[in-house]
C-alpha cells in the first residue's frame, strides 16, 4: 500500500489523519494520504512565505538552472510515478496514458526552464528611460484536478518557480498520491520551503477554500470545473489575488464535406477520447456535414469498437475506467437521456465497476443535454448539419470557450472558419494537442488567463515600471 507524506518546509509531514485512495479499475485500496488541517495549510504557506525572499533574490540564471535540473528528477523517477498514477487515476501505463503524462511533465519543465524574463525598454531618449520589469508575486497556491494530476501540477509549479515565486499545491483527493510522490522528489532538489504540498479530502477542513482566501497567498492557479472556478474567484476577491483559471470546456469539432471519413476517423477518436474523454480540451461535440455524416459515423464506429479498455496495469489496454463514481454517474445519466431520443451507434450501457464503454450517439435533438453539458467521459454526440454557418453558430452557442476544431482538405478555408470559433485554442484537422510553446486557456466561462510559453510565465509575475 502506498503511503506518502506531505512536504512542508522541505520535510515529510504525515498529518494527524488520513483518507483512503482507491484504484478505479478494481475498487481496491491503493494507499492513504494525509488529511490536512487548516493549521497544516498555515504551516505550508508560512514555509513558502519564509522561503520567498531568498528564492526571489537568486540571480535569474540560477533559478533557470534550478528548474532545468528538475527535468532529470522527473526522468529518473518516471516509471515509479507512472505506476502510482495508473493505480490511483486508472489510465493505462502505455499509449497516451501515464508514461505519456510523465513525458509531457518533463517536456513542459524543460521548456519552462528555457524561458527568459527580460527587462523591456519602453522608452529611451532625451526625455528619459522607461523600463518594464517583471517581478515575482510571492506565494502561489495551486489546486489541481484528477484527470492529469502530475502534468497539470507541473504546469502550475514550474512557471511559478521559474518566475521566482514559492508554491503550495493541493491535488485532488481522488489522485493525491502521484503528486505527493512527485513533489517530495522535486522539493529535495530545491531550497527548503520553496515547494510545499498539502492533501485533503476537505471533510476535516475545507483546505481548498482556505487557500483561495488565504491572506499570504498572492496568486491562485486552479484547473477544474467552471462552478468551482467561480467559487475560487469569489473567495479570492477580498485579497485581490492574481488568478489563472483553466476551467471546463465543451469543445466542438466541425467536419466539412470534403473530408475522407476513413482518413480522419482515428484522429477524431483520439481528439474526443484521449484519457477516456476526461480532458478539458477533448472534443465534446462533433458536427458533421450531411453529405458524409453517415460515412463518418461508420468509420468512427469501426475504429472505436477495436479500442481495448480495461485495467491500466495490463499493457494491452489503451483506455481505463472513469476515475470516480461521481463522474461515472454523470456520464451514465447523460447517455441514458440521449438513448431515449437519439441513435446509439456504439456502447450506451454501463459495464461493471467504473468502466463505461465508448459511446457514440447520433441524431439527437438540438436541446439534448449530451450536446449542451460537458460530459467529461467516454461519450460523444455526432450532430448532422447542412449549412456551415449553422455549424459555426451551434459551436459558439455555448457558455464555454476552451477549444474547437475544423476538419477539411482545404486548410485556408478551415483556418478562416476556425478563427470564427469563440474559443482560446483552435485546431485544424486535429483536436486537443497541446504544446509547451503555445499559450493555453479559455474564453467565456472556460476561464481567465493563459498557461504555457512566455505568456503563461508572465502570468506568474507582477509588472513594475521604472522611470529613470
List, by residue number, the catalytic residues: 246, 280
Please name the residues in contact with 288: beta carbons below 8 A apart, sequence gap of 6 or more: 255, 296, 297, 382, 383, 384, 385
β-strand 139-143 against 166-170: which pairing, if any? parallel
Q: Using alpha carbons, select from 198, 193, 191, 185 the residue that is nearest to residue 78.
A: 185
Whether the Cβ atoms of residue 317 and residue 308 lie closer than 8 Å to each other: yes
Whether the Cβ atoms of residue 368 and residue 342 lie closer than 8 Å to each other: yes
Between the alpha carbon of residue 144 and those of residues 199, 226, 353, 419, the distances in Å are 11, 13, 25, 30
Whether the Cβ atoms of residue 247 and residue 445 lie closer than 8 Å to each other: yes
Q: Using alpha carbons, select from 459, 97, 5, 51 the residue that is nearest to residue 243.
A: 459
- Burial of 111 (C-beta count, 10 Å sphere; 0-12/13-18/19+): middle
* Cα(300)–Cα(110) distance, integer angstroms: 36
β-strand 251-255 against 283-289: which pairing, if any? parallel
* Cα(423)–Cα(441) distance, integer angstroms: 9
- Burial of 461 (C-beta count, 10 Å sphere; 0-12/13-18/19+): buried
* Cα(342)–Cα(384) distance, integer angstroms: 12
Whether the Cβ atoms of residue 117 and residue 108 lie closer than 8 Å to each other: no
Pull the grid cell for residue 430: 486535429
Amino acid at each position: 500500500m502506498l503511503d506518502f507524506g506531505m512536504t512542508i518546509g522541505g520535510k515529510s509531514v504525515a498529518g494527524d489523519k488520513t483518507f483512503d485512495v482507491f484504484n478505479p479499475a478494481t475498487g481496491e485500496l491503493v494507499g492513504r494520504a494525509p488529511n490536512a488541517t487548516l493549521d497544516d495549510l498555515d504551516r505550508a504557506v508560512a514555509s513558502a512565505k519564509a522561503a520567498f525572499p531568498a528564492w526571489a533574490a537568486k540571480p535569474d540564471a540560477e533559478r533557470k538552472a534550478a528548474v532545468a535540473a528538475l527535468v532529470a528528477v522527473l526522468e529518473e523517477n518516471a516509471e515509479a510515478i507512472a505506476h502510482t498514477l495508473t493505480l490511483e487515476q486508472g489510465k493505462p501505463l502505455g499509449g497516451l496514458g501515464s508514461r505519456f503524462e510523465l513525458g509531457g511533465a518533463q517536456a513542459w519543465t524543460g521548456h519552462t526552464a528555457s524561458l527568459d524574463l527580460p527587462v523591456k525598454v519602453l522608452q529611451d531618449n532625451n526625455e528619459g528611460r522607461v523600463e518594464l520589469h517583471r517581478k515575482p508575486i510571492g506565494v502561489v497556491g495551486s489546486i489541481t484536478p484528477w484527470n492529469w494530476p502530475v502534468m497539470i501540477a507541473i504546469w502550475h509549479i514550474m512557471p511559478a518557480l521559474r518566475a521566482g515565486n514559492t508554491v503550495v499545491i493541493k491535488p485532488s483527493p481522488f489522485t493525491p498520491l502521484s503528486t505527493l510522490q512527485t513533489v517530495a522528489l522535486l522539493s529535495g532538489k530545491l531550497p527548503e520551503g520553496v515547494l510545499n504540498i498539502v492533501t485533503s479530502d476537505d471533510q476535516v477542513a475545507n483546505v481548498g477554500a482556505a487557500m483561495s482566501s488565504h491572506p499570504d497567498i498572492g496568486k491562485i492557479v486552479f484547473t477544474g470545473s467552471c462552478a468551482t472556478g467561480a467559487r475560487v474567484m469569489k473567495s479570492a476577491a477580498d485579497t485581490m489575488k492574481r488568478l489563472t483559471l483553466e476551467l471546463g470546456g465543451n469543445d466542438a469539432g466541425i467536419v466539412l464535406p470534403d473530408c475522407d471519413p476513413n482518413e480522419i476517423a482515428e484522429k477524431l477518436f483520439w481528439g474526443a477520447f484521449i484519457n477516456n474523454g476526461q480532458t478539458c480540451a477533448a472534443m465534446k461535440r462533433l458536427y458533421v456535414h450531411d453529405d458524409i455524416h453517415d460515412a463518418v459515423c461508420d468509420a468512427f464506429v469501426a475504429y472505436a469498437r477495436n479500442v481495448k479498455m480495461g485495467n491500466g496495469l495490463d499493457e494491452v489496454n489503451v483506455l481505463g475506467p472513469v476515475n470516480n463514481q461521481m463522474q461515472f454517474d454523470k456520464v451514465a445519466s447523460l447517455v441514458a437521456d440521449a438513448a431515449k431520443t437519439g441513435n446509439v451507434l456504439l456502447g450506451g450501457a454501463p459495464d461493471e465497476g467504473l468502466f463505461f464503454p465508448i459511446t457514440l450517439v447520433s441524431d439527437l435533438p438540438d436541446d439534448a443535454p449530451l450536446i449542451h453539458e460537458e460530459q467529461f467521459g467516454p461519450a460523444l454526440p455526432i450532430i448532422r448539419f447542412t449549412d456551415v454557418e449553422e455549424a459555426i453558430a451551434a459551436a459558439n452557442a455555448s457558455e464555454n470557450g476552451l477549444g474547437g476544431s475544423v476538419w477539411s482538405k482545404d486548410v485556408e478555408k478551415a483556418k478562416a472558419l476556425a478563427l470564427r470559433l469563440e474559443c482560446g485554442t483552435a485546431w485544424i484537422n486535429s483536436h486537443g494537442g497541446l504544446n509547451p510553446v503555445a499559450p493555453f486557456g479559455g474564453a467565456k466561462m472556460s476561464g481567465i488567463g493563459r498557461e504555457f510559453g512566455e505568456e503563461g510565465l508572465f502570468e506568474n509575475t507582477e509588472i513594475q515600471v521604472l522611470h529613470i
